[in-house]
């Protein structure tokens, strides 16, 4: 078997995002569709099963793993999984995307277990708005989580803000200012419309408008070097800022041509594209005792299903799954 994973368009695939649970302790309006199928404990992959998929993926050249969900910190003993995956030969980095609600509690033990970096989702500093967007009461828990993660050395801690027209777009400048005053690494993300989402399609604020708002208030954004990291963000800095500002525009600045990733859902499906419903079942074969070679074959099969690009410009993403069931 060819040892390096490529899709049928020649893109090298070396990054796997793993959703470890569909459950979440928040209910963000853009992430949750109006229906929510229940999944039992037995429906989701056990840590040992995820470990085995990662072993197979690492054998095909996957080097980076990101754990997501649902809310990954809502699953018990996440540190045990981090430790297992960090030790897989070939894996250079295990990182985490979280809403930060439980991060202050777990940051140090995650770091000790081998976690390298963390991205924290935060869409508003204002308690009433935080509540409106997420349903949660305690934005201060997220802020405490961010500070604890920094102190624990999970750096760079990146703050992801989904910009929603008429909801939090008047906080764009406040977030950008944090890159100057607090050394934050802030990333602005375009809202991706999903069929049946509780957030309507017209909430989208194009990244170009976000950039204009920041430059009008805070000065010229200079590209930083390297301008892109491992993913789709383009990075800039404001004058005198220690932190950076990243822009991720899946809708108006489609980056599918550089896509290097695929996903594993909590219920054991390989998903080649975030915004398309193609999937390959890996849970069934795992539970029937599939060999590593068989798992590698399934991973190749999933890579071969990767599309050239998503169709968000024409239509909302399909809604067989909610974002929290895919792992954004
Ligand atoms: N619970 C964790 C969190 O909040 O970061 C991880 C899962 S969440 C699905 C991962 C990321 O997806 C978050 O940064 C969230 O803001 C983003 N996200 C979810 N739905 C989105 C949408 N419709 N458009 C853009 N970003 C979205």
Q: What's the pLDDT tens digit per position in 38-54?
A: 678 899 999 999 999 99
Name 60's Cβ contacts closer than 8 Å, sequence gap at least 6. 1, 3, 4, 5, 13, 296, 299, 300
Q: How far is the CA of 122 from the centre of ligand 1 (A)?
A: 10
Q: Is 21 a pocket residue for ligand 1 (Cβ < 6 Å)? A: no
Query: Atom 2 (ligand 1): residue with closest C-alpha?
Result: 98
Evaluate if residue 129 carries a pLDDT over 80: yes
Q: Which residue has the higher pLDDT, 323 or 214?
A: 214
Residue-wise burial string across 126-163, b where 16 or more C-beta atoms lie within 10 A, e elsewhere: eeebbeebbebeebebbebbbebbbebebeebbbbbbb
Please provide the average confidence, as pLDDT, over all residues in the chain: 92
Ligand 1 center to residue 328 CA distance, Å? 5
Mean pLDDT within 182-190: 96
Greatest mean pLDDT range, 40-49, 122-131, 306-315: 122-131
Residue range 78-101: mean pLDDT, rounded: 98
Q: What is the pTM for the complete model shown?
A: 0.95
Q: Is the CB of 24 under 6 A from ligand 1?
A: yes
Share of the chain above pLDDT 70, in %: 90
Say if ligand 1 is within 6 A of residue 31 CB: yes
Ligand 1 closest atom vs CA 160: 14
pLDDT at position 1 over 60: no
pLDDT value at 32 more than 80: no
Cβ-contact 228, 253 below 8 angstroms: no
pLDDT higher than 80, residue 2? no
Q: How many CA atoms lie within 13 A of 176 on its CB side?
A: 29
Is ligand 1 within 6 A of the CB of residue 97? yes
Query: Does the CB atom of residue 203 touch ligand 1 within 6 A?
Result: no
Dihedral angle of Cα 257, 311, 72, 51, to the nearest 10 degrees: -60
- The response to whether residue 191 sits with its C-beta less than 6 Å from ligand 1 reads yes
Mutate to test the pocket of ligand 1, among 31, 122, 130 (most ligand atoms within 8 A of CB): 31
Taking residue 102's Cβ as centre, other Cβ atoms within 10 Å add up to 18
204 CA distance to ligand 1 middle (Å):
15
Of the candidate ranges 14-23, 224-233, 289-298, the one whose mean pLDDT is the lowest: 224-233
pLDDT at 33 over 60: no
CA 325 to chain centre: 12
Across the range 9-36, mean pLDDT stands at 87
pLDDT of residue 232: 85
Ligand 1 centre to CA of 42 (Å) is: 25
DSSP secondary structure string for all residues of 62-100:
--EEEEESS-GGGSTTHHHHHHHHHTSTT--EEEEEE-S
Residue nearest to atom 22 of ligand 1 (CA): 192
198 band by pLDDT with thresholds 50, 70 and 90: low
Looking at residues 247-276, what average pLDDT do you find?
94
Tell me what pLDDT residue 40 has: 82
| Cα 283 to averaged position of ligand 1 atoms, centre (Å) | 24
- Please give the average per-residue pLDDT across 81-105, as a whole number: 98
Residue 122 pLDDT > 90: yes
Give which of 184, 136, 138 is closest to 160, Cα–Cα.
Answer: 184
Q: Do residues 305 and 50 touch, judged by C-beta distance below 8 A? A: no
């Amino acid at each position: 078997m060819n040892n390096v994973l490529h899709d049928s368009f020649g893109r090298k695939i070396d990054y796997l995002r793993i959703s470890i649970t569909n459950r979440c302790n928040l209910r963000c309006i853009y992430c949750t569709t109006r229906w929510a199928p229940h999944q039992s404990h037995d429906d989701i992959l056990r840590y040992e099963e995820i470990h085995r998929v990662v072993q197979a993926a690492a054998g095909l050249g996957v080097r980076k793993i990101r754990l997501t969900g649902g809310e990954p910190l809502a699953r018990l003993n996440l540190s045990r999984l981090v430790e297992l995956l960090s030790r897989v030969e070939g894996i250079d980095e295990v990182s985490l995307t979280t809403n930060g609600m439980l991060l202050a509690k777990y940051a140090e033990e995650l770091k000790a277990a081998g976690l390298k970096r963390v991205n924290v989702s935060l869409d508003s500093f204002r308690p009433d708005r935080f509540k409106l967007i997420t349903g949660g009461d305690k934005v201060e828990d997220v802020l405490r989580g961010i500070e604890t993660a920094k102190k624990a050395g999970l750096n760079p801690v990146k703050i992801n803000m989904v910009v929603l027209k008429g909801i939090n777009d008047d906080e764009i400048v406040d977030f950008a200012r944090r890159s100057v005053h607090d050394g934050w690494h802030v990333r602005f993300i375009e809202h991706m419309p999903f069929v049946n989402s509780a957030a309507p399609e017209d909430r989208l604020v194009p990244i170009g408008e976000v950039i204009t708002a920041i430059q009008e208030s805070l000065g010229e954004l200079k590209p930083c070097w390297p301008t892109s990291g491992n993913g789709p963000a383009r990075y800039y800095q404001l004058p005198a800022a220690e932190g950076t500002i990243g822009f991720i525009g899946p809708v108006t600045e489609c980056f599918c041509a550089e896509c290097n990733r695929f996903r594993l859902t909590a219920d054991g499906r390989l998903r080649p594209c975030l915004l398309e419903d193609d999937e390959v079942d890996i849970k069934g074969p795992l539970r029937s005792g599939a060999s590593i070679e068989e798992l590698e074959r399934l991973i190749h099969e999933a890579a071969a299903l990767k599309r050239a690009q998503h169709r968000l410009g024409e239509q909302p993403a399909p809604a067989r799954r909610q974002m929290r069931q895919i792992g954004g």
